[in-house]
Amino acid sequence: MDELKTQGKPFDISKREVWESWCEVKANKGAPGVDGQSIDDFEVDLQGNLYKIWNRMSSGTYFPPPVRAVEIPKQHGGGMRMLGIPTVADRVAQTVVARHLGIRVDPVFHEDSYGYRPGKSALDAVERCRQRCWKRDWVIDLDIQKFFDSVRWDLVIKAVETHTDAVWVKLYVQRWLQAPLQLPDGTVQLRDRGTPQGSAVSPVLANLFMHYAFDTWLTRHYPDVQFERYADDAVVHCVSEHQAREVLAALENRMEDVGLRLHPDKTRIVYCKDQTRRGSYEHVAFTFLG
Q: Are 182 and 67 in contact (CB under 8 A)?
A: yes
How many Å separate Cα 108 from the centre of its chain? 16
Q: Over the stretch 50-82, which tens digit does the pLDDT of each residue have?
A: 999 999 999 999 999 999 999 888 776 567 788
Could you give the CA distance from residue 31 to residue 18 in angstroms, rounded to a whole number? 20
Alpha-carbon separation of residue 71 from 180, 185, 213 (angstroms): 16, 12, 28
CA distance 161 to 177: 15
Determine the pLDDT at residue 272: 87
The residues facing 251 across adjacent strands are none
Element (H, E) at 142: strand 138-143
The predicted-structure confidence for 144-197, as pLDDT tens digits, reads as follows 999 999 999 999 999 999 999 999 999 999 999 999 999 999 999 999 999 988
How much is the pTM? 0.89
Q: Average pLDDT of the chain?
A: 91
Mean pLDDT along residues 133-142: 94
Contact 241, 138 (CB under 8 A): yes
